[in-house]
Homo-oligomer: A and B are copies of this chain.
Amino acid sequence: MNGSEILAQRFTTWQAMEFNESDCLIRNVLDRLGDKWTMLIVIALNASPARFSKLQREIPDISKRMLSQTLRGLERDGLITRHVFATAPPQVEYRLAPLGRSILDPLAQLVLWAEIQQDEIRRARESYDDSVNEIDSAATKAPR
């Protein structure tokens, strides 16, 4: 079964349960993975386990609040583990759990897709924006 067939089959199933938001698989998963920081943190922790402040340095524009919140979400879902060392000052290290490592392959597929297609997407956007501009300028010129 290729991707299209798999998705077509799942679509029918989800439809039958009316995409019930709480137990619809894809909505649950993509809601979590699709937020602004989750995947970036998974990728950072794949590169190497890290402490809170190291992660904050590695991802320059994340705020403490979002880093903390996203890490908690990942820990809750079992994708990462949190290790506290009772030193002074305290040290907390985050690592990818097996469940977190298991998402690296599908995630990499998505990144590869983006790399391969990015030029075509850029072209599509430019051409679309151009055609919209034409309509706009025609609309502002013609009526008078």
Contact = CB atoms under 8 A, between A and B. Distances in A.
Main secondary structure of the interface of A (DSSP, over half): helix
B113 A78 contact: no
A12 interface: yes
B78 A121 contact: yes
A102 B4 CA distance: 9
Interface stretch (A23-31, A86-94, A136-144): A23-31
A114 B129 CA distance: 36
A43 interface: yes
The size class of the interface chain A forms with chain B is 35 or more
Contacts of A43: 7, 10-11, 26
A121 to B, nearest CB: 5
Interface in A95-129: 99, 101-115, 117-118, 120-121, 123-125, 128-129
Interface of A: 2-4, 6-8, 10-12, 15, 18-19, 21, 25-31, 33-36, 39-40, 43-44, 46-47, 58-61, 75-78, 99, 101-115, 117-118, 120-121, 123-125, 128-129
